[in-house]
Amino acid sequence: MTAAVLLALLTNSKTLDDVLADPRLKGATVAAIVIKDDGSVVYSKNAATRVLPASNEKILTGAYALTKLGADFVPTTEFWKKDGLLLISSKGNPDLTLKDYKDFRIENGLIDLSVSLKQSYRPGWPSTWPVGDLPNRYAPFISSITVDRGGMELFSDSGRLELMNDSFGLHPIWITSDTDAHVEYDPVLKELKVRGRFPKGRKRLDTLSIPEPDLAVGRLFGTVGTSARDLDVDPGASKYVLKGKPLATTLQNCFTVSQNCLAENLLLMAADSEGELGASPYETASSRLSQFLESQVKLQPGDVFTSDGSGVSRQDLVTTRALAQTLLWMSKGENSAAWLAAFPKFGIGTMTNRGKGHAILAKDGTLKQVSSYSGYLTKKSGERLIFSLVFNYFSCSDAEARAVQDEFVAELDK
C-alpha cells in the first residue's frame, strides 16, 4: 500500500487514481500528468500515450508563435496604390475586423479600385479537416488576408434573413416548411439556405465560416482580380499600412475564446517567418513546428504529430507529457509574462465555469468524444503545479468528462 493510498484511507479522501477511475470514463483513453516547477513528476497515467488534443493543440501553436515572433510583434497589411490599381499585401494579420478595413478605406480614400491580393499563404481549409465541419465558424477558410476571424452570424428578423455586417457574396434563401428552422450552408459552392418556419422576432440562427474572406476584404476596396504569393509591388505606388494587434493580444484572444482562425494564422505566420511556406503551407508549417518542439522545447521524438494549428483535425496527436513539458518550458522563458497572461482563469472565456475557488490558468478543448484540460495550478500552499488531462473515446457527456477533470484538479489543491 502506497503512502498516498494510506493517507487517503485515513482521511476518507480520494486518490488521483480514484478520480480517474470514475465509471463514467469506463472504456475511455485517459491520459494525465502532473509535474512540479522543477520538472519532477507528481502523478502520471498513460502520459506517453498519444491522444487527440482538441484545442490543447493551441498550446503547442501558441508556444511556437510567441517564441518565433515575440510578444511585441505587430503584423501589418500593406496597401500599394497607383492610379486606379491597388495591391493588398499581407503575411498574416488575423485579428482585423470588417470595421477596421472600412475605417481604413475611408480614411485613405481607397475606394472603387482594381484590386490584387498578395498573400504569403492561402491554403483554404486544411485537407485533414472533416468536410462536415467546414460550414461552421470553428472551421474557417484560412488565408493571410482575413476578416472577423473568418466567421459570420446569420439572423432571422421578422421573416427576413440577415448576415451581420456584410453579405460576403452570399444570397440567403428561405424555404418555408412546417419544421423548425435549420440552416443548410455550403461554403465551397457559396449556397446558403434556411428551411422551416420563421421564428418570431429577431433570432440568431447560426454562426458560419466566411467563404473566401480574403476576397471579401478585397471587395471592400473595389473589384478583385489576381491573388498570388509572388506579385510585384510597383516602385511608384503610394504605400498605406494597416497595423494589427500585438501578438501577445492575439494569443490571449486565441486562448481565451479558443479561436481557431487565430490559431491557424499564428501557426502559418510563425512558420513563414522561417522562410517561404511554398505550395503546401501546412506540411511546411507542421514540419517546422515539430522541429521547434523537439529541438528547443526538448520534447521526445514521436510525442507530437500535428496537421493544423487549432486541433480541429482528427489527425493531431500529442502526449500529455509533451503538453506539460511545453507549459513548463514556456513559463520559464523570456516570453513567460505574455505566455501566462494569455491563459484564462475562472470567470473568463472558456474558463467561465471552470476553476472556481482555485488559482488556475488553463486551456481546455472539446471535440466529439475528446476533452482536454491543461495548465497551471497555484496551490493554497503557494506551490505551483503543471497539469495536463486528456480524455478520448468516452461515452459520457462532455460536461461529465469535464466534471472529472475539475475534480482531479480540485484534489491536487488539497
The pLDDT tens digits for 286-333 are 999 999 999 999 999 999 999 999 999 999 999 999 999 999 999 999
- Residue 2 pLDDT exceeds 80: no
235 three-state secondary structure: coil
Q: Pseudo-torsion of CA 210, 353, 29, 283, nearest 10°? A: 30
Shared domain check, 80 and 67: no
User: Quick check: pTM over 0.85?
Assistant: yes
Angstrom distance (rounded) from CA 241 to CA 391: 45
Shared domain check, 336 and 189: no
Q: Are 377 and 384 in contact (CB under 8 A)?
A: yes
Shared domain check, 257 and 281: yes
Angstrom distance (rounded) from CA 239 to CA 276: 23
Q: From the centroid of its chain, how far is CA 345?
A: 17
N- to C-terminal Cα distance for the chain?
A: 21
Angstrom distance (rounded) from CA 376 to CA 386: 5
Shared domain check, 257 and 237: no
Residue 14: per-residue pLDDT: 82
- Residue 8 pLDDT exceeds 70: no
Q: Which has the closest alpha carbon to 32: 356, 274, 374, 369?
A: 374
pLDDT band at 230 (very low <50, low <70, confident <90, very high): confident
pLDDT band at 7 (very low <50, low <70, confident <90, very high): very low
- Residue 68 pLDDT exceeds 90: yes
The CATH number of whichever domain residue 333 belongs to comes to 3.40.710.10
Shared domain check, 46 and 13: yes
Shared domain check, 96 and 215: yes
The pLDDT tens digits for 193-216 are 999 998 888 999 999 999 999 999
Shared domain check, 114 and 52: no
Compute φ and ψ for 45, nearest 5 degrees.
Answer: -145, 115
- Residue 235 pLDDT exceeds 90: no
Shared domain check, 167 and 42: no
Sheet holding 41-45, edge to edge: 41-45, 29-36, 384-392, 370-378, 359-367
- Residue 5 pLDDT exceeds 60: no
Shared domain check, 156 and 94: yes
Q: From the centroid of its chain, how far is CA 399?
A: 21
Percent of the chain at pLDDT exceeding 90: 90
- Residue 96 pLDDT exceeds 60: yes
Q: Are 347 and 98 in contact (CB under 8 A)?
A: no
The larger pLDDT score, comparing residue 11 to residue 188, is at 188
Q: What is the mean pLDDT of residues 162-190?
A: 93
Residue 124: per-residue pLDDT: 97
Query: Within 13 A of 103's CA, how many CA atoms are on the CB side?
Result: 8
Residue 226: per-residue pLDDT: 79
Within 8 A by CB and 6+ apart from 275, the residues are none
The pLDDT tens digits for 334-343 are 999 999 999 9
- Residue 357 pLDDT exceeds 80: yes
Residue 11: per-residue pLDDT: 43
Domain-terminating residue out of 209, 243, 277: 243
Q: What is the mean pLDDT of residues 146-172?
A: 92
Domain housing 84: 76-243
- Residue 397 pLDDT exceeds 70: yes
Amino acid at 65: A
- Residue 268 pLDDT exceeds 90: yes
Shared domain check, 66 and 80: no
Angstrom distance (rounded) from CA 49 to CA 55: 17
Domain-terminating residue out of 188, 220, 243: 243
Angstrom distance (rounded) from CA 9 to CA 11: 6
Shared domain check, 329 and 375: yes
Flag the least confident range among 5-9, 22-26, 339-343: 5-9
**Residues constituting the chain:** 414
Angstrom distance (rounded) from CA 259 to CA 55: 9
pLDDT band at 13 (very low <50, low <70, confident <90, very high): low
The pLDDT tens digits for 105-138 are 999 999 999 999 999 999 999 999 999 999 999 9
Q: What is the mean pLDDT of the chain?
A: 94
pLDDT band at 159 (very low <50, low <70, confident <90, very high): confident
Domain-terminating residue out of 225, 243, 261: 243
Number of domains observed in the structure of the chain:
2
Q: What is the mean pLDDT of residues 94-104?
A: 97
Beta 29-36 vs 41-45: how paired, if at all?
antiparallel
- Residue 6 pLDDT exceeds 50: no
- Residue 4 pLDDT exceeds 70: no
Q: Which has the closest alpha carbon to 229: 128, 80, 92?
A: 92
Shared domain check, 260 and 236: no
Flag the least confident range among 50-59, 142-151, 198-207, 317-326: 198-207
Q: Are 380 and 358 in contact (CB under 8 A)?
A: no
